Amino acid sequence: MTKLTLGSHPFLLGFEQLERLVERTAKSGNEGYPPFNIEQTSETGYRITLAVAGFREGDLAITVEDRQLVIRGRQVEDGAERIFLHRGIAARQFQRSFVLADGVEVSGATMENGLLHVDLSRAVPESVVQTIRISTA
């Protein structure tokens, strides 16, 4: 018995890319830091909000690489002269990745009260009806 995959299903022609996308997303293995929300702000708008308390704007980098939104954070140590009796606030780096669908673009990013907001917008595709002429052989 052969396993029927998404890319090999006879009614899904040209969707091999979708199967690769699902595999890549499953392998990304994002840990739980930093926590984030994804919300729909309009019919074609989305917002990803990450809790990045302790990070400055200069500590964060947002890039889009091969339809993948990557948000990286790296904190610089203030110095070795500080002596902590208890260190409960982790100063660690992170990387969060989100796969973007075709037509979804990053429209901006803002930082407010320890929250990083990344706004996304989706272009509405035009509906195209194409008539195919049948020719005789």
Percentage above 70 pLDDT, the chain:
77
d(CA 41, CA 58): 26
pTM of the model: 0.70
pLDDT at 130: 92
The reported pLDDT for the residue numbered 112 is 95
Q: How far are the Cα atoms of 50, 77, 101 from residue 23, in angstroms, in the given order? A: 24, 36, 15
Comparing 126 with 11, the larger pLDDT belongs to: 126
CB 106 within 8 A of CB 93: no
| CATH fold for domain 30-122 | Immunoglobulin-like (2.60.40)
**pLDDT tier for residue 89 given thresholds of 50, 70 and 90:** confident
pLDDT of 28 strictly over 60:
no
**Where exactly are the structural domains of the chain?**
30-122
Beta strands in 1-137 (DSSP E): 36-40, 45-51, 60-65, 68-73, 94-99, 104-112, 115-122
**Residue 108 contacts by C-beta under 8 Å, 6 or more apart in sequence?**
118, 119
Give me Rg for the CA atoms of the chain.
22
Q: Please, where are the H alpha helices in 29-131?
A: none
- Kindly state the average pLDDT of the residues 79-101: 83
